Structure 1
Amino acid sequence: MVLCKKWTLAKPFIGKVTPDNFKLVKEDIPEKLNDGELLCEAVYLTVDPYMRVGAETGNAVGNTLFGEQIAKVIVSKNAKYPVGSIVRMRAGWRTHTLVKDAEKEISRSAEMGDLPLSLMLGAMGMPGMTAYFGFLELCQPKAGETVVVSGAAGAVGSLVGQIAKIKGCKVIGFAGTEEKCKWIKEELGFDFAYNYKKTDVDTALKEAAPDNSVDCYFDNVGGMFTVKVLTHMKTFGRVSICGSISNYNDTSVPTGPLPFFSILKSQLRVEGFIVLRWYSRWEEGETAMRQWIKEGKIKYKEHVTEGFEKMPDAFMGLFEGRNTGKAIIKM
C-alpha cells in the first residue's frame, strides 16, 4: 500500500478563506494494479483563485479540492506511461493518484524542452493559456494601443502585460505593493506601474492614459476598480473579464456606481471567458509561449511553497496578495 494525503473541503468558502475550510485526510492506495492502470506521485501542484469559485459552485464538502498537478509515474501497468514518466493531470490536492483510465485522466503534456516542469502549471499551462487566448482573442490588441492590466503582478496579469508589449502596445499595470510595481515596470517592461493601494485609479489613468485613451482592459479584479477603469476607455474599447478577486472574500451586497452607462456611452465590447473555451488550441498557445520564453520576450516568476501540508496557507495567500507570479507547491 502507498499512503496518500489529500486536502478535502471541510466547509464551503464563504467570506475570507480560513484554515477551517480544509481537512487533511489520509488513505491507502494499493500498489497492485490492473492492466492499463498507473500510480502517480505529485511533483508540483498549483493553487489558483478559480479553485475557490469552483468549490463554491460545484465541489461538495468532503470532496478532494480540485486542480492540476505535475506527477511522476511510480508504478505502471500501462506501456504508454512507463515508470518515471512525467504527466499532467487534474488530480486535485493529493500526493498520490491511482489512474484507472489514462486516456481520460491524464492531460496532454506540453513540449517543455529544457524549461522547468513547473511551467506546465504556469506560463505553459492554464495561466499562460488564459493570458494568451483571453487577451489576444478578446482584446485583439493593435500596435500603438493602450492596455490596462489589473492584478498585473499575478500569474496571468504579468503575462498579459508582456504579450501586450510584444504586440507593440503601451501597457499600464496595477499591483498591490511597491515591490510588485517595481518588478513589472523594471523587469517586465510595463510602461506604467501603479500601487492601487496608494494611487487612485482615476488619478493614475489621467496621467498614463489622458483623455480616456484606454483601448483594452484585461480585468483580473472586478469591483469598483473595474467600474473606474471603464470610465477611462476609448470609444469601441475592448474588455476581457478574466477574474473578480476583489469580490471573492466579500459577503456583502455590492453597492456603488454601476458600469452600464460607461459601457453604453463608449460602446465597449465586454466579454467574460473561461479558458477551456480554447482547449483544442492549447498547443498553439504553448508553442508561442515557449518561443517567447526562450527568446527572453516573456519572463516569469514563481512563488514556490515547499511541502504538501502548506497548500491551504499558499491558497489563502492568493487572496492576501502574498504571491508575485505563479503560486506553485513543490513536493
Structure 2
Amino acid sequence: MQTNTILLASRPQGEPTEAQFQFETRELPALNSGEVLLKTRYVSVDPYMRGRMSSAKSYVAPFEVGEPIAGGVVAEVMESQEEKLPVGSIVVGSLPWQEYSVAPAKTLQQVPADQAPISYYLGLLGMTGLTAYFGLLDICDPKEGETVVVSGAAGAVGMVVGQLAKIKGARVIGTAGSDEKVAYLKELGFDEAINYKTADLPAALAAAAPNGVDCYFDNVGGPITDAVYDLLNKHARIAVCGQISMYNATEVPMGPRPEGKLLKTSTKLQGFIVSDYLSQWPAGVKQLGEWYSQGKLQFEETVTDGFEQIPAAFLGLFQGDNTGKAVVKVA
C-alpha cells in the first residue's frame, strides 16, 4: 500500500518557507505482530516543530532531511495485529505527516471518541492542555486574587492557561496580536486583553496590572517579556513555555538583562517541557476533561482542510493566523 507523505526538504535559515517541504509517495510496510495500520484523521502543527527543523541540539531529536516530518496525530485503526486496538479504534501518537502509517500499538494511546471532538486530543485534552496545566499550576501556582499575565494568550496553550488561572481565582491579563483575538479573550473571561501590535505595551500592561504581576506564563519572549519584568511583585513566578518571537532569528537578539530584576523581587524563573511531567499526564487529562465537561473550559481550533495544506498551516503559526489550536483535518 502506498501513502502520500511530507518530507523535510532542507533546513530553514530564518523563517521557514514552502521550499522546506517535499511531497512524496512511499510504500508502507506489511503489518507485523503488535502493529496497526492507521488512517490519519487530524494532524497537529506546533511552534516547537520549528526547533526540530534545525540541527541544533535541543530537548528532542531534530527532523532528518529527506525523511518524513512527524508530530501529534489523531488516527483511526484500519487494520490491526494487536487485539487491544481493534479496527475502528481512535488513537493519538507521534506519527509522520502521512495519510496512512504503520505503527506499533504500544506507541499509541487509545482515546474515547464520544467525550469531546477527537481533534481536542491534540489540544485541550492532549499535549497543549497538559502544557498549560502543569506549567501554570505547578510552576506558577497562582493564588486567589493574584495577577497572572499570559503572552500569546489567544494561542492553543495561552487560552487554556488564562482559563485555568480564572478557575484558581486569579486576575488574568492576556496579550494577543489582533483586535479580534483580544475580543475573544474577553469572551473567555480574561479580565484584560491587550493588542501588543497596536498598544504602547509597557504603558498598557502597567495600566492593566496596577498592583503588579505575580505570575507570568511566557509563550513569546521578546519585548512583551521585557515589559512584564518591570512589573514583577515580590516572589513572582515565571513559567517559560515558548519563545516564538525568536524561533526564526538568525542571531540571538540582545535585550534587557533581567537578572537584577529577578534578584530584587526574589522571582522564580523556570523553563519546562511538558514531557517533564509524563508520569502525571493521566491525572492531568482527567482533571482537564472534568473541567471541560463542567463547562469551565472552552477551546478554540483553527482547522485547515486537506493533507496538502499541512505546510501552509504550519507556516501560518509564525504569522499569527491561528486562534487557539492549529490542526489540519486530513480525513
TM-score (norm 2): 0.95
**Structure 2 match to 1:92:** 96
Deviation at 1:77, TM superposition (A): 2.1
**Structure 2 match to 1:208:** 208
Partner SS for 2:4: strand
**Structure 2 match to 1:66:** 70
Deviation at 1:111, TM superposition (A): 4.8
Deviation at 1:253, TM superposition (A): 3.3
Greater CA deviation, 240-249 or 290-299?
Answer: 290-299
Q: Any idea what the Cα deviations from partners look like across 1:244-287, whole Å, max 9, x if unmatched?
A: 00001221331232212211121110000000011111111111
The count of corresponding residues between Structure 1 and Structure 2 is 324
Question: Which residues of 2 match residues 86-165 of structure 1 at below 5 A?
Answer: 86-99=90-103, 101-103=104-106, 105-106=107-108, 108-111=109-112, 113-165=114-166
Q: What is the CA–CA distance in structure 1 between the aligned matches of 2:294 and 2:93, rounded to whole Å? A: 28
Deviation at 1:13, TM superposition (A): 2.6
Matched, 1:183 2:187: no
Aligned with residue 50 of structure 1, among 45, 48, 51: 48
Matched, 1:246 2:249: no
**Structure 2 match to 1:282:** 281
Q: What is the CA–CA distance in structure 1 between the aligned matches of 2:289 and 2:169, rounded to whole Å? A: 19
Greater CA deviation, 165-174 or 286-295?
Answer: 286-295
Deviation at 1:109, TM superposition (A): 3.4
Deviation at 1:33, TM superposition (A): 2.8
Aligned with residue 80 of structure 2, among 64, 76, 80: 76
Question: 8 Å contact 2:38–2:101 — kept in the other structure?
Answer: yes
Deviation at 1:200, TM superposition (A): 2.1
Q: What is the CA–CA distance in structure 2 between the aligned matches of 1:238 and 1:200, rounded to whole Å? A: 24
**Structure 1 match to 2:20:** 21
1:299–1:276 distance in 2 versus 1, CA, 3 Å:
same
Partner SS for 2:53: helix
Deviation at 1:29, TM superposition (A): 1.6
Q: What is the CA–CA distance in structure 2 between the aligned matches of 1:219 and 1:25, rounded to whole Å? A: 37
Question: 8 Å contact 1:112–1:290 — kept in the other structure?
Answer: no
Deviation at 1:205, TM superposition (A): 1.8
| AA of the residue aligned to 2:191 | D
**Structure 1 match to 2:303:** 304
1:97–1:304 distance in 2 versus 1, CA, 3 Å:
same
What RMSD, in angstroms, separates the aligned Cα atoms of the two structures? 1.3
Q: What is the CA–CA distance in structure 1 between the aligned matches of 2:150 and 2:133, rounded to whole Å? A: 13
Q: Any idea what the Cα deviations from partners look like across 1:136-162, whole Å, max 9, x if unmatched?
A: 000011000000000000000000000
Q: What is the CA–CA distance in structure 2 between the aligned matches of 1:156 and 1:26, rounded to whole Å? A: 34
Question: 8 Å contact 1:110–1:283 — kept in the other structure?
Answer: no
Matched, 1:35 2:33: yes
1:128–1:112 distance in 2 versus 1, CA, 3 Å:
farther
Greater CA deviation, 238-247 or 81-90?
Answer: 81-90
Question: 8 Å contact 1:43–1:70 — kept in the other structure?
Answer: yes
Q: What is the CA–CA distance in structure 2 between the aligned matches of 1:176 and 1:289, rounded to whole Å? A: 27
Question: 8 Å contact 2:5–2:23 — kept in the other structure?
Answer: yes
| AA of the residue aligned to 1:171 | V
**Structure 2 match to 1:222:** 221
1:285–1:51 distance in 2 versus 1, CA, 3 Å:
same
1:112–1:82 distance in 2 versus 1, CA, 3 Å:
closer
Q: Which ranges in structure 1 are unaligned for 5 or more consecutive residues?
A: none
Partner SS for 1:60: coil
- Between the aligned residues of both structures, percent identity stands at 47
TM-score (norm 1): 0.95
Q: Any idea what the Cα deviations from partners look like across 1:199-229, whole Å, max 9, x if unmatched?
A: 1221112211125x10000000011221221
Question: 8 Å contact 1:201–1:229 — kept in the other structure?
Answer: no
Deviation at 1:298, TM superposition (A): 0.6
